[in-house]
Amino acid sequence: MPTCQNCHNKWSWKQTVKKLRHLNNEMFCPYCGEKQYRSNKSKNIIPFIVPIMSLPVFIKFFFDVPIVILFSLFPLLVVIIIFILFPFSIKLSNEKEIPF
């Protein structure tokens, strides 16, 4: 879970998911109210998430699985990745980092 770089309080899972809904880089700490930014290291996790999301396509390619089952896997993967795994990968910074 992210930890505020100003007050060093660890955010809860629920607070993190709430902050991710806005899809912008700025997040305000629920404890001290200071502006926090997602670090570049945290943003670099996204390219590794995309192949996991395309897993049903690879399953269909290698195995004879009905398409209905594969389509039902997509929402399940989205929920697992976005709501369960992604909040644990968020790291915060006090300053807005320039992407490299």
Q: What gap in Å lies between CA 79 and CA 57, rounded to an integer?
A: 17
Which pLDDT tens digits describe the chain residue by residue (100 residues)?
888 988 999 999 888 888 777 666 788 888 998 999 888 887 777 777 777 777 777 877 788 888 888 788 778 887 887 778 788 888 888 888 776 6
Question: What is residue 3's three-state secondary structure?
Answer: strand
Q: What gap in Å lies between CA 38 and CA 36, rounded to an integer?
A: 7
| pTM score over 0.75 | no
| Residue-range domain boundaries for the chain | 13-93
- DSSP code string of 10-32: BPPHHHHHHHHTT-SSEEE-TTT
| Residue whose C-alpha is closest to residue 59's, from 70, 49, 72, 74 | 70
